[in-house]
Amino acid sequence: MTSTAISRCLAFIFFAAALQPAAAAVIDAPKASTLVTDRFGRPLRSYLDGAAASSCVPLKLSEISPWLVLATVAAEDKRFFAHPGVDFRSVTRAFLQNSKRGHTVSGASTITQQLARALEPHPRTMLGKLSEMFSAMRLEAGHSKEEILEAYFNGVSYGALITGAGAASLDYFGQPARDLSPAQAALLAGIPKSPVNYDPRKNPLAAAERQRLILRRMLDLGLLDAETYRLALAEKTGAREKEKYFDAPQFSDYVLRHSARSGGTITTTLDGRVQEAAAQALKNHLTELRYRNNIKNGAVVVLDNATGAILAWVGSSDFFDTVNGGQVDGVRAPRQPGSSLKPFLYALALSKGARASDLVDDSPLYVPGGHAPENYDKTYHGKVRLREALACSYNVPAVRLAQKVGVPALLSKLRDFGFASLEKPAEFYGEGLALGNGEVTLLELTNGYATLARGGVWLPARFDESGAAPARRAMGRGEAYIVSSMLSDNTARAPAFGVNSAFNLPFDLAAKTGTTKDYRDNWAVGFTPEWTVGVWVGNFDGAPMRKVSGITGAAPVLKEVALTLEKLYGSTPFKRPAGIKTVRVCPLSGQLPSAFCPSTMEEVYTAVNLPSGQCALHGPPASSSPAAKPEKLEVEFPKNGDIFRIDPQTPRAAQALFFKSSAPGEITWTVDGSSLPERGMSVSWPLSPGRHHIYFTAEKDGKTTKSRAVGFTVVK
């Protein structure tokens, strides 16, 4: 039997089968990959069916270059427009060649058969091949050639994780498929035959050789003229370097899970410039801390205060560092926040009538259960104003304040600020809630501070611009402003952090740190009226850090990110809302000054909660009667026997004690026999290791009086 007879026989059999009653093969619409981009359209990550890094951009046939259609026909199926789905001449030729050689040396799959195989894979057996042919003929019976070509170009593989001509053109050449040149079209048309062997990046020589073969076929078939063929051979069409969309992997995963869209491009609120700066700042600082302080990971999130838009989301320092949990999302991982919850406690206290100038006792305290809270510096500071207690992050005053306002009220207020992770009842946390013994996420914490920056209005953090975000008032505008004032007061925090800490920037920045007692979590959050930055550093496996404070661990990262935000978005001073009054008070009593107060200071208050009552600490001079007892002079701080520790992580120049006297007047301080140049009721003295003795002398009515000496120790 001749080859022509065999072809006619096969055609008759397949036509008869194809005419049997059966549903035409269905061509499902291709599923577009989901591309997550930043606000400027910069790709962050691509997904196909939930799998990261896959790419598919479905196109209409009219959106594909005619050169790619012609090149593909020349490469895969030159009689495509003539056969009914199966090219029986090619089948016959392949049958005879393979029978003669005893193994497969030639294939005969048409474009329609390749599409049928993609839609419904068949086993690579004789029976599977026959089934594939039947499917191809059913496709041709139910669809036009144009529909088949469109489905083919959208469904064929052009390499690992690249599906369809639309994605391939963008991936290899960075341009739409409609703009492909004849040479580019021939390179792409050669890939589907073997995406591994003809990968233009991994096997450029093999891909170029097949490209030249396809161009020659196009010339021989009359699909190219001689001049176009010559120009195509001369064109340089190497594939560009593959772009790696992996700038915000944890953020992109979060967007994919929570977005209402599936497929196509999701434009998010992320700013790629801020993202890059935050990631680099975290990486740079962790390089310094990794071995010295056993800090191996961290996270950063940045919010736009006006809208709640997420500007940066760095879930870990290195996503591919599986040893240190790099794929954990530190922005959403619950951790203990330490002192970083204190601003919300103080905001609650202000709403209940407290004032920033009120005095709170920082002295030993024993709470039920035998717990005795300690300050970070391991000492006590006597009567301190609320402003100083918050700015310096003293623990004992915070616990006393929590006792006063009540833990249930504090927990309720924290939930108003968006801390949904605090799910347990108030009695579970106890007064330790004021010191951060519950677990919250970095995103919750940062958005809580953004609420203060908005004047007490809570908005959900958002990753896109769709819909109006529901808002609620969590705190009065006046109280939020006063807390922001306390957190941005560099003078108030100087006794604990020094005057040149990471928070002392050339613009107004309200900031707070937090460190858990066992050094497992380290936080820093800062905000301006425009934006808020939250930073966490630590270890995802819970391993403790080695003696690092918030001001030396997380704060330097915050500082670097804040400086970038200042350049990109700017910042403004905190705007005083209506109803805020400035009043001068006595700095030692916090009350309105009397005529006998040696000095005064300004403090801010809400109009409905102004200070009342005159200073009772300073009265008129004692009578000159011979029976009057002389005024007793004492060093109020430090106390005799106090011990202070030098923080090895804080610059020595930023560590000082602030001596306080019991009497006003011209005060001269003497330390270890040497007089200090600074005079006054309160002076600073830089820490120096060793045992020290101090006293002061006061000039009054022409007489010099000396206080009792006090001894204290400074250890390294």
pTM over 0.75: no
| Locus of tokens 């290899």 | 172
Residue 628 confidence (pLDDT): 46
Residue 105 confidence (pLDDT): 42
CA distances from 174 to 48, 151, 170, 197, 273 (A): 19, 22, 4, 22, 22
Residue 107 confidence (pLDDT): 55
Q: What is the pLDDT of residues 466-498, one digit of tens each?
A: 766 789 999 999 999 999 999 999 989 888 888
| Locus of tokens 């792409």 | 188
Residues in the chain: 716
- Are the C-beta atoms of 389 and 562 separated by less than 8 Å? no
Show me where the domains of the chain are located: 3-30+54-234, 31-53+245-268, 274-569, 635-715
Residue 480 confidence (pLDDT): 98
pLDDT < 70 positions in the chain: 1-26, 29, 48-54, 92-108, 244-245, 369-370, 467-468, 549-550, 621-631, 649-651, 653, 665, 701
H-helix or E-strand spanning residue 272: helix 272-292
Of the CATH numbers 3.30.70, 1.10.3470, 1.20.58, 2.60.40, which one belongs to the domain with range 635-715? 2.60.40
Q: What is the CA radius of gyration of the chain?
A: 37
Beta strands in 517-673 (DSSP E): 521-527, 531-538, 580-585, 601-606, 635-637, 643-645, 656-661, 666-671
Q: What is the pLDDT of residues 545-601, one digit of tens each?
A: 877 765 778 999 999 999 999 999 999 999 999 999 999 999 888 999 998 888 889
The CATH number of 3-30+54-234 is 1.10.3810.10
CATH topology of domain 274-569: Beta-lactamase (3.40.710)
Cα(131)–Cα(136) distance, integer angstroms: 9
